Amino acid sequence: MSGVMIVTGGSRGIGAAIARGAGARGWHVCVDYRRHGAEAEAVAAEIVAGGGTAVAVQADVSVEADVVRLFQEADERLGPVAALVNNAGIDLPVAVAEVTAEQAQSLFATNAFGPVLCAREAVRRMSTARGGSGGVIVNVSSIAALYGGMPGDVIYAGSKAAVDALTLGLAREVAGQGVRVCGVRPGMTATEMWGDSGMSLDEVQRRAEAFVPLGRVGTPEEIAGAVLWLCSAEAGYVTGAIINVSGGREINIPPSG
């Protein structure tokens, strides 16, 4: 399966690994980014250098007008979208007792409302009931959605639980319209997001050794592999499924988180 794929938050980490892998598999990739333009352009350039097709487009998925423009640019520059990967996300470690309304709204705007807006635009184009040719949506959630997150990360976990609910409900809603909807729940993964939240990768590795049965953090490429399989023809009979790619984190959750 190939065609046009939009990867939100595609400039770094898991999103960049998904974009690179998609390009190598023959997808025409739209690399969405909010702030990291140079990195997004570098990802697109790497895909093109490998013989693929890719463009970088700036759009903040929490802003409706940006989402509409993102899909319009993908239409114009690459063609009809066949796959959407809702990967863009932010973290804001803060205790519930300390959070402001603005902080909570910002986190949910990107992590939960953004996927809704992007899914809306994708379904409008993909749905066979609307003249489309079908397609697939993969939502990148988090293993934290299953257990509520570590202390100080509860709001993030809640936003990802919303993504899981979107995945399941939307899968039912569009199953008869040629659109598959699936999800992936990453566990502790070596990405820049940890540094953005003030935690070093060494500390993340120590936590992984304590909490993850496989005893290590995952790589962005390991998460990307699951996402790209769900987007492939091999997963043509899969919808409403959410795959845990967490080193077994969900089977080893101590009461302390």
Q: Which of 5, 40, 44 shows the shortest CA–CA distance to 230?
A: 5
Q: What are the tokens at 62?
A: 């929490």
Q: What are the tokens at 248?
A: 């077994």
237 is catalytic: no
Q: What are the tokens at 118?
A: 């992007």
Q: What is the chain written as a DSSP string?
A: --SEEEETT-SSHHHHHHHHHHHHTT-EEEEEESS-HHHHHHHHHHHHHTT-EEEEEE--TTSHHHHHHHHHHHHHHT-SEEEEEE---------TTT--HHHHHHHHIIIIIHHHHHHHHHHHHH-GGGT---EEEEEE--THHHHT-STT-HHHHHHHHHHHHHHHHHHHHHGGGTEEEEEEEE-SB-SHHHHHTT--HHHHHHHHHHH-TT-S-B-HHHHHHHHHHHTSGGGTT--S-EEEESTTGGG---TT-
**Do residues 96 and 141 make contact, with C-beta atoms less than 8 angstroms apart?**
no
Q: CA-CA distance, 65 to 61, in Å (whole number)?
A: 9
Q: How far is CA 192 from the centre of its chain?
A: 15
Catalytic pick from 33, 147, 156, 237?
156
The catalytic residue positions are 156
